[in-house]
Amino acid sequence: MSLKNIYFILVRPQIGENIGSVARAIKNFNIKYLRIVNPRCNWPNQKALATSVGAKNILKKAKIYSSIEQSIGDLDIVFASSSRIRRVNKKIISVSNLKKKIAKEQKIGILFGAESSGLSNDELSCADYLVKIPTNKKFSSLNLSHSSIIFAYEIFQHFSKKNVVYRTSYRSSIAKKSEVNKFLNFIIERLDKKGFLQPSHKRQSMIRNIHNIFHRLNLSDQEIRILLGIFTTLNDLNNKS
């Protein structure tokens, strides 16, 4: 099974902008299929297209259905998003446990209800599981696109086999200790001239703390040069005043 078998299904969505935001959200996490059941807004919807930004292809390929039964007919297992606990005979799981219920080679549907009311109990009867996103108990309602992106992220994480390592494009190498010490000697010499390292019996402790600060920062060559330039400029300004 892969992300190619994941289908997000919006039931009676009311606002075009929300549909566009959902398309954008699922594309962020490489989910390609969006199904829409009885949209309450005009369709196709220009506001949805505008909000989708780079995910217009998701909307253009989205399939429209007249019933939930039709929209899930080819699926193997269906999860329904619900912001509240319902009195229905369904297993309820947290979205963080969704991946534990996804089996290989199954086609998976994720159901979301209308913005104003969510899914009805009759609509929930089509699902195998109800899925709740843990939230503030006093304010549990999430925007449709926010809810969908949390589901998309959890599913994407499940299929991400490698630990992602990000490398910065910053090119300056880490400064050698000799360069850091040269900079420190420069500022300590000037602090001594200004009488900052007083009283004398605390001087060595203050110098040690200054060394600890700058060695701990893991500064680059470029950063050392910038700091040296800053302190040199400040020193020159003080000498002129």
By three-state DSSP, how is residue 188 classified? helix
Q: Which pLDDT score, from 0 to 100, does residue 240 have?
A: 73
The pLDDT tens digits of the residues spanning 78-137 come to 999 988 777 778 899 999 999 899 877 899 999 999 998 899 988 999 999 999 999 998
Q: Which pLDDT score, from 0 to 100, does residue 234 have?
A: 84
Q: Which pLDDT score, from 0 to 100, does residue 29 have?
A: 95
End-to-end CA, the chain: 73
Q: What does DSSP assign to residue 72?
A: H
Q: 10 Å Cβ neighbour count for 206? A: 15
Nearest-angstrom CA–CA distance, 160 and 162: 6
Rg of the chain on CA atoms, in Å = 29
Q: Which of 147, 34, 139 is nearest to 98 (CA)?
A: 147
Place of tokens 């059941």: 37
| In the predicted structure, residue 1 carries a pLDDT above the cut 60 | no
Q: 10 Å Cβ neighbour count for 31? A: 24
Percentage above 90 pLDDT, the chain: 68
Average pLDDT over residues 172-191: 90
Q: Which pLDDT score, from 0 to 100, does residue 55 have?
A: 96
Q: Residue 40: what are its φ and ψ, rounded to 5°?
A: -85, -15
Q: Which pLDDT score, from 0 to 100, does residue 52 have?
A: 96
pTM of the model: 0.74
Q: 10 Å Cβ neighbour count for 130? A: 20
Q: Residue 60: what are its φ and ψ, rounded to 5°?
A: -70, -25
Nearest-angstrom CA–CA distance, 218 and 120: 57
Nearest-angstrom CA–CA distance, 23 and 58: 6
Asked if residues 154 and 96 have their Cβ atoms less than 8 Å apart, the reply is yes
Residue 93's DSSP bridge partners are 131
